[in-house]
A and B are shown apart, each in its own frame.
Chain A
Amino acid sequence: MTDKLTRRQVAWRLAQDIEDGNYVNLGIGMPELVANYIPDGREIVFHSENGILGMGPEPRANEVDYDLINAGKKPVTMLPGGAFFHHADSFGMIRGGHIDICVLGAFQISAKGDLANWSTGRPDAVPAVGGAMDLAVGARKVLVMTDHNTKRGDFKIVDECTYPLTGPGVVNTVYTDIAVIDISDSGPVVREKVAGISFYELQARTGTVLAGADTCRELSAPDVG
């Protein structure tokens, strides 16, 4: 039994690393949880690829408007100060380096920071890339939020991605249910790991060599569900 984090706790942990004033794009699915855990006192502007800055939380049932949705096509709200703009401007912001942080999910992350998150490459799969490739190359920092291993127990952090890449060498930090791992120029360095597993066990669950055994701190998060 390890004291691994829930998905909400991973979102909480990642949110602590978003700084006051950051412009942030949250990917579809798990990354959307991050918006719930921004520390008090930090003003963050959320960007949505479909042309929104200043996106607010989920609306109350009587305020749902399907002309106001996020990248995952879910209804959202606008905060005072928000703005709408067209798609070419939205992706100009992304590619042009104006987005401080994007948070993406991943199938695989390589030791060099390659990201694979759009296709399993299976012949029967319908390919769908959306905005992930633009975000991967354009955001100043790419933070990945993922389970450390697949449901089958396969490695997700690996020497080389076997799935088609979303972007090469783009990932800065990986936040998993058991560790926070920075992708440095010399490879992955564990910044934090949960207390319940040894560095040796963490290494055994990772498909590439990890550094940081002597310097990593404890990864923990409050009970946020």
Chain B
Amino acid sequence: MIDKTIDTLTEAVSVIEDGAVVLISGFGESGNPTELAHALIDHGARDLTLVNNNAGNGHVGLAALLESGQVRKIICSFPRSSHSEVFDTMYREGRIELEVVPQGTLAERIRSAGAGIGGFYTRTTIGTPLAEGKERRIYNGDEYVLEDPLHADVALVKAELADRWGNLTYRLAARNFGPIMCTAARTTIVQARQIVDLGEIPPEQVVTPGIYVDRIVEVANPASEREMIEQDIRYPAGGVQ
């Protein structure tokens, strides 16, 4: 019998080791696995490399993970936001390494890793500082730059529905990076709003097939990052000691 469901967030993230490369789903505040990020803070794995489109907001979720001092490097496309003060401060003080990757290249590097592709050529970044030092190739008269797949040890992903096989759906535009991140990690850990019986998700509505998913934990009422920021909530409460 296949049962990928796990009772607690603590147990779900217990497999994450020091030095792990961790993909974290979400775009802005939509699709962020905030509860899994907080569980990773409690778990305490260090020297992490995080991959997300952004670099966190306020003092919760991804930003709290940065603030905890457990993260060595972040790979993202757009670290700036109206509430990215944790990242901004750490970056200016030289306490975190940043790799800026154009958003489409970031997505395709993740997709490639999950699909067994060894690298790909893209026109994105040609003529810009981000193409410096990269291998080039001409196709049909246009110059392309080589990009590597981005493999990860762990993916933390927020989904809407899940079943015990790991089949997933996503809510509205919270899908964003979730489906490709599930494919690119050795261990994919999912927080789903609801775990349903096998067969309840019609096969044609499955977005991520369970083959890509390893561990599922139900978080029935995921926190709103926006509300936590408005209420100046920090994780852990009282801030990092």
Residues of A within 8 A of B (CB): 48-52, 65-69, 73, 78, 84-88, 90-92, 94-95, 114, 124, 126-134, 137-138, 164-169
Contact indicator B103/A49 (Cβ below 8 Å)? yes
Contact indicator B172/A84 (Cβ below 8 Å)? yes
Contact indicator B29/A88 (Cβ below 8 Å)? no
B30 to chain A, nearest CB (A): 5
B177 to chain A, nearest CB (A): 5
Contact indicator B30/A91 (Cβ below 8 Å)? no
Contact indicator B102/A88 (Cβ below 8 Å)? no
A96 to chain B, nearest CB (A): 10
> Closest B-chain residue to A64, C-beta based?
B226
What's the Cα separation between A107 and B214 when bound, in Å?
A: 45
Contact indicator B78/A95 (Cβ below 8 Å)? no
B-side interface residues, number (CB < 8 Å)? 50
B56 in contact (CB, < 8 A): no
Contact indicator A88/B176 (Cβ below 8 Å)? no
Contact indicator A91/B80 (Cβ below 8 Å)? no
Given the interface contacts A50-B27, A126-B79, A134-B105, does A168 sit within 8 Å of B176 by beta carbon? Answer: no
Residues of B within 8 A of A (CB): 27-31, 53, 77-81, 87-88, 91-92, 98, 100-105, 107-108, 110-111, 122-130, 170-180, 207, 224-226
B133 to chain A, nearest CB (A): 15
Q: Which residues of B contact A167 (CB under 8 A)?
A: 126-128
Number of A-B contacts (CB under 8 A): 139
What's the Cα separation between A66 and B30 when bound, in Å?
A: 6
Contact indicator B110/A88 (Cβ below 8 Å)? yes
Given the interface contacts A84-B172, A127-B100, does A66 sit within 8 Å of B224 by beta carbon? Answer: yes
Which among B79, B81, B110, B172 is the interface contact of A68 at CB below 8 angstroms?
Answer: B172
> Closest B-chain residue to A94, C-beta based?
B104
Of B53, B108, B172, B226, most buried by chain A (CB within 10 Å of CB) is: B172
Contact indicator B107/A90 (Cβ below 8 Å)? yes
Contact indicator B173/A51 (Cβ below 8 Å)? yes
Contact indicator A134/B102 (Cβ below 8 Å)? yes
Which among B92, B129, B173 is the interface contact of A67 at CB below 8 angstroms?
Answer: B173
What's the Cα separation between A95 and B124 when bound, in Å?
A: 8
Q: Which residues of A contact B172 (CB under 8 A)?
A: 65, 67-68, 78, 84
Q: Which residues of B contact A132 (CB under 8 A)?
A: 102
What's the Cα separation between A133 and B127 when bound, in Å?
A: 10
> Closest B-chain residue to A73, C-beta based?
B28
